[in-house]
Amino acid sequence: MPRRSPGFDDKMSPQERRTAYSLAAIYMVRMLGLFMILPVFTMYGAELKGHTPFLVGLALGIYGLSQASFQILLGKLSDTIGRKPVILGALTLFILGSIVAALSHTIVGVIIGRALQGAGAMSSTILALAADLTREQHRTKIMATIGVTIGIAFTLGMVLGPVLNSLIGVTGIFWTTAVLGVVAMGIVVGVVPAPRSHLRHRDIGVETASFSKVLGNPELLRIDLGIFIMQFVLTSNFVALPVVLAHTTHVATDKSWELYLPIMVFAFLAMIPFIIIAEQKRKMRQVLLGAITVLGLANLTNIYVDRSLVAMGINLLFFFTAFSVLEATLPSLVAKIAPVSQKGTAMGAYSTSQFLGVFAGGTIGGLLKGAWGVNADFLACASLALLWLFVARKMPEPQYLSSYVLPIDAPDPAAARALQASLAAIRGVAEVAVVADEGAAYLKIDRAVVDEAELRAFARPSTEPFAAQA
């Protein structure tokens, strides 16, 4: 019979709550600084010395290339020298890039600044630090808390960017971004607990040996292509949309927040029932294909709509609703499809594809706009959405499984094998990987079937996560 663990605690400790909220705050202030630029940069870039549409698009998207290039590297470095030094170093680069962009009067200078901003790639390190400071049973909740900040930062950025532009200009937004970076450094130093050790976490970290398997998985590649196209479409749209709103719809850049605010709120509310249908009603494939279709149609309609304020507002509402649905469902699909021992690596490949999409959307969007005008951007985005729809239609309905990490004791290989067999025999457990040196069992479970109390019977007694400070 398994050993019962009455100490298995379903409630987060004060330290874990502090970890969740402080790391979420760091993530949010950094992403806010990046998102505030989106709705206002195209018009600003057109005033910089040496600008071309291509270079303006490159400046918008270049941070994605440097982010994709450095995020896994810095995550690996944090395993060696520690999480906080890497996060502080990344924030230093982010602040330096913001200052360079703020001081630059040429498009090339801003491109350099934006590249430095992206080189401060700390997302994977923040997630690893969260895993170091939290117990396995609370990790999913804490990752979700951090993940929610992306949506909040995006919505705030769409509103605050135009407001700040009217008060202090884009140069002032870059200075504000630098200040936000300093605030984030203060949170790292003064609020975030310091872990005593840095462990590998297969549900978070990238395993180099697993890359070939992840890149050879056609279902994961479909999702990687999808997030690439989604971010391409978003960034390319923001090469074209500010021009359309200002010159055709006659919405001044400084006033565009009045359009974006209600649209973002309604898009968020409209997204919720679709997520419920996808997850609880188990209609993920249908919701995904529908959202891709709407994303493509919204871009196609941008070409032919009369571009009145009402018409553009309705079209943008459809666009951002579809985008929000896809942004919420794609990471969930990665977690459902990736083998349990390769989830962290799969998420690393997904994130890299995401940032490469940002880069390609900015650069190619700028190139198309310069050569053939804004309609070329919208047509390219609609065509890519059609390609995504063609690829995604072959996706089978995913298994509706949840990731679950169980703290375990397995002192030797024989005990690990026995524990894995026992966990695999529990009804509702689809996959198990026991990793003795991490003191964890990684599972995929069907929450509608599994009895979590039966799983927890195999857990080691609950302990506080290791930290050097309370």
Q: Tokens at residue 13, please?
A: 């400790």
Average pLDDT over residues 4-30: 75
pLDDT at position 78 is 85
pLDDT at position 31 is 87
Assess whether pLDDT exceeds 90 at residue 405. Answer: no
Mean pLDDT (the chain, rounded) = 88
Closest CA to 431 of 341, 371, 297, 319: 341
Assess whether pLDDT exceeds 70 at residue 125. Answer: yes
Q: Which residues contact 249 (CB under 8 A, 6 or more apart)?
A: 307, 308, 309, 312
Integer Cα distance of 14 and 285 in angstroms: 39
Assess whether pLDDT exceeds 50 at residue 2. Answer: no
pLDDT at position 302 is 92
Helix (H) or strand (E) holding 470: none
> Same topology for domains 13-201 and 210-399, yes or no?
yes
| pTM of the full structure | 0.91
pLDDT at position 134 is 78
Tally of CB atoms within 10 A around 344:
24
Amino acid at position 45, single letter: G
- 210-399 CATH pick, 3.30.70.1350, 1.20.1250.20, 3.30.300.30, 3.30.479.30: 1.20.1250.20
Instruction: Provide the sign of the torsion angle of the four alpha carbons 425, 429, 430, 434, taken in this order.
Output: negative
Average pLDDT over residues 301-322: 92
Assess whether pLDDT exceeds 80 at residue 139. Answer: no
Which sequence spans correspond to the domains of the chain?
A: 13-201, 210-399, 402-456
Tally of CB atoms within 10 A around 407:
20
Integer Cα distance of 381 and 393 in angstroms: 18
Annotation: CATH topology of 13-201: Growth Hormone; Chain: A; (1.20.1250)
Instruction: State CA 32 to chain mean position distance.
Output: 13
CATH number of 402-456: 3.30.70.100
Q: Tell me: the pLDDT tens digits for 414-469?
A: 888 888 899 999 999 999 888 877 778 888 888 888 888 888 888 877 555 544 44
